[in-house]
Homo-oligomer: A and B are copies of this chain.
């Protein structure tokens, strides 16, 4: 078997793969908000929206504090840092590891508009 650890990268990236949830995160990065306020701009039912919040909560990306009948949600950056770090480490590793063949392939793909050996459109 391979050396991947499950930690919660699965969860974090999965959370981030939904545009609604990314939008929520971006919104919350501007400050805490109530559920209703956050939900407003989205074209979906409130239950649908709060499901997304639950997903964010379960992944540890947001928390809330309750004030009367309101729930004020705020961002929890640590979970996101996990994902950010994974990608940054990968990127820097990758950038140091390019073989000349790979550099060649990358180059020819970026300069010409297509390459016989490049089957990705």
Contacts and interface: CB of A to CB of B under 8 A. Distances in A.
Contact of A60 (B18, B106, B120): B120
Count the copies.
2
A5 to B, nearest CB: 8
Contact of A13 (B13, B94, B105): B13
A11 to B, nearest CB: 8
Given A62-B120, A65-B105, A13 B4 contact: no
Give the interface SS of chain A, mostly helix, strand, loop or mixed.
helix
12 contacts: A1-B43, A9-B16, A10-B17, A10-B19, A16-B87, A31-B102, A32-B99, A62-B120, A65-B118, A66-B119, A75-B102, A80-B94
